[in-house]
Amino acid sequence: MKPKYKKALIVTASTIIAMVLLLGAATLLLNTSYVQQRLLQKAVSMLAEKLNTRVEVDSVSVNLFVPSMALYGLRIDDQQGDSLLRMEQLTAQVSVVNLWKRQFLIQQVNTEGLDAKLVQNATDSVPNYQFLIDAFKKKDTPEKSEGPKAKKKWDVTLHPQQLHMQRTHICSHKDGKKNEFTIQQLDIKRKDKEYRYSIEGLQLATDNGTPRKNTANPHKGKFDAGHLNLSATLKGTACLIGKDSISAILSQGSIQDSETGINISDLHLNAGIMPRQTITLTDIALKLSSTTLAIERVHITLPDTTAARSLAYEAENITGQVILHDIAQPFVPALKNFHLPLQLSTHISGTANEIRIPWVQVSTNDKRLNVTANGRISNLGKGLRPIVNFNVTQLRSKQGMAEKVINQFIVKKLMMNQLRQLGDISYKGHFNVAQRCETFTGRLVTKAGALNFRFTIDGNNGRLLGSFNSPAIKVGQVMEMPNIGDVDCQAEFNIDISKMRTAKIRGNKDGKLPIGTVTALINDCSYKRTHVRNISINIQSDGTNATGDILQQGNRRQISCEFIYNENDPKHKLRIMNPGIHFGKPKNSEASQDSIKIKKKKERKEKKKKSTAEA
């Protein structure tokens, strides 16, 4: 070997050995407390300079081969000097972009025991964490130094490929409202533009600073968005499509709220999100305890005041099997015993002020009950009373189904034998709820005949008002009195349903009869082979005594009587008084004949004047 090559080889080998020894010495030095303390001071200085606030760290651990850095006992204050963030451990995998320019890239972040306090005193004020977001916001162009002697700053960019968080607690205070988030474990892994996420042990508690909505009325549902205590598990993927679009998949999800009774055991969907513009959800599958729902598509247009755009949404083809018991505790406690499976199919759209339901179909599994309807709920603004309008285009109930539905409710079962006598039932009609008044109208067709009705529950005045008529209803068949035939009748009623008034009246008079008035007219009815027509009945009840009069109007005679029914008199519950018969034309008939004659006379005079004027 030539001397010059030999010399070059010796120099190269010596250089490599020196570098290895230097690297080994550096590694040993990094494990000493002195060097790590110096690195800790640098890291704290770097963060404090980056955030422009006070930063404290108990200890540091550096791995030069990864490279990575772990901070223990991290504490960061906000720019007002109050506590913002506390963390037991923060581990970051760091890549050196340009050592000379002090540019570093954080690619992997692990946290343990994060506790953050986020405060925004007013909606238009700057939150106490905004400076933290601004400090790590990715810059489009690097800032130029001011002059050749300007001090070089540490340039740290947060661009994690993997995020792992354990035991995270975040408390948010805004405008007197408090929200608390707790996550036992969060994992996010990035590959190209796709993020795979997993959230376990998520807890969300909200408190809007006001009493729960059902505090004054415990019979209302417990759901209140201002007082939630949710726990959830979520897993799926998300993908960035351009700068303004996100595609996400929720492959596994469950949400529970022990306080309100919400229990979504399985939830998965696909989502397309354009921030501040639209959200589109597809292939939604949702399962409660015994309820399963599938929603083909939900499209939501987000509100934007600058673009003069308001909130709008539409949910297409909602289908599934519903057990109403599943929504009883949070929304409708009266349904807590409703375990009858129902098949649901509907379509919903609306805005912030209105919900539109162009069609909804409900039926039992055996199709013995079928309901088709449409309607809308309007006036949903804050502080307003909702207005409900629904048209029932078809309701068909087979023999026995009405009784089966009633048995799903905890109510007194009255006149169930009479209900069975009605047989198959069909109904078409309308109901309206507005300003504490509920109005129901329609036509009921049964085996015993047809009945047209209208009644109103007046919550403002505590009254039940209404009327009904039937051209021929089989009262004898329904009431199990075979000697009574078809009845052609009509009636009006006005019943007091105010709990305060009726309790006061019943306190003075012991009785359980309805309190109010009933006026009825029987145009035609039969008893055995005898037909009776034109019977008018007037009834007044004070809760204990029901008094009234009966008048049967004939062409040449009137039969009348008065009666009193006392519920508390076991011997004489019903007493007939002042029976009588009157022969001759009724006074109202003579008066009506006189008015007809006067009217015809006036008409003849007017015709005569017109003919004179024309001539």
- Give pLDDT, residue 373: 96
The arithmetic mean of pLDDT across residues 151-177, rounded, is 77
Q: In angstroms, rounded to a whole number, what is the distance separating the alpha carbons of residues 229 and 210?
A: 15
Highest mean pLDDT pick, 84-88, 140-144, 179-183, 293-297: 293-297
Q: What is the pLDDT of residues 232-286, one digit of tens each?
A: 999 999 988 877 788 999 999 999 998 888 899 999 999 999 888 899 999 999 9
Q: Which residue's entry shows tokens 């209208």? A: 454
**pLDDT of 458 above 70:** yes
**pLDDT of 367 above 90:** yes
Which two tokens mark 364? Answer: 């039992």
Question: Does 52 or 447 have the greater pLDDT score?
Answer: 447
Percent of all residues in the chain with a pLDDT value above 90, rounded to a whole number? 35
Which two tokens mark 567? Answer: 């519920």
- Give pLDDT, residue 395: 95
**What stretch of H or E contains 351?**
strand 342-351
- Cβ-defined contacts of 89-97 (< 8 Å, 24+): 89/113, 92/68, 93/66, 93/67, 93/68, 94/67, 94/68, 94/69, 95/67, 96/67, 97/155, 97/157
Q: What is the pLDDT of residues 2-50, one digit of tens each?
A: 554 455 555 455 445 544 444 444 454 555 566 666 767 776 787 777 7
What is the radius of gyration, based on Cα positions, of the chain?
Answer: 40
**Cis omega before residue 275 (within 30°)?**
no
Among 52-61, 377-386, 397-406, where is mean pLDDT lowest? 52-61
CB-based contacts of 590, cutoff 8 Å, min separation 6: none
**pLDDT of 376 above 90:** yes
The arithmetic mean of pLDDT across residues 114-129, rounded, is 83
DSSP at 143: P
- Chain mean pLDDT for the chain: 82
Question: Does 128 or 20 have the greater pLDDT score?
Answer: 128
Beta-bridge mates of residue 116: 85, 170
The domain ranges of the chain are: 1-28, 31-122+129-134+155-175, 448-584, 589-615
Query: Are the CB atoms for 426 and 395 separated by under 8 Å?
Result: yes
Nearest to 267 by CA among 285, 281, 280, 282: 285
Instruction: Burial-class residue 313 by CB neighbours within 10 Å (0-12, 13-18, 19+).
Output: middle
**pLDDT of 412 above 70:** no
**pLDDT of 601 above 60:** no
CB-based contacts of 34, cutoff 8 Å, min separation 6: none
Measured between alpha carbons, how far is residue 520 from residues 280, 494, 561 in Å?
A: 57, 12, 15
Which two tokens mark 57? Answer: 């760290």
Look at residue 232 and give its three-state secondary structure.
Answer: strand
Q: What is the pLDDT of residues 193-209, one digit of tens each?
A: 888 999 999 999 998 88
Give the global pTM: 0.74
The arithmetic mean of pLDDT across residues 57-67, rounded, is 72
**pLDDT of 542 above 80:** yes
Q: In angstroms, rounded to a whole number, what is the distance separating the alpha carbons of residues 66 and 77?
A: 30
The arithmetic mean of pLDDT across residues 579-602, rounded, is 58
**pLDDT of 77 above 80:** yes
Question: Does 513 or 148 have the greater pLDDT score?
Answer: 513
Helix 3-30 to helix 33-51 angle (10° resolution) is 80
pLDDT bracket for residue 177 (50, 70, 90): confident
Q: What is the pLDDT of residues 211-229, one digit of tens each?
A: 888 887 777 888 888 888 9
Strands 155-174 and 103-120, bridge-based pairing: parallel
Q: In angstroms, rounded to a whole number, what is the distance separating the alpha carbons of residues 197 and 92?
A: 19
- Give pLDDT, residue 294: 96
**pLDDT of 146 above 70:** no
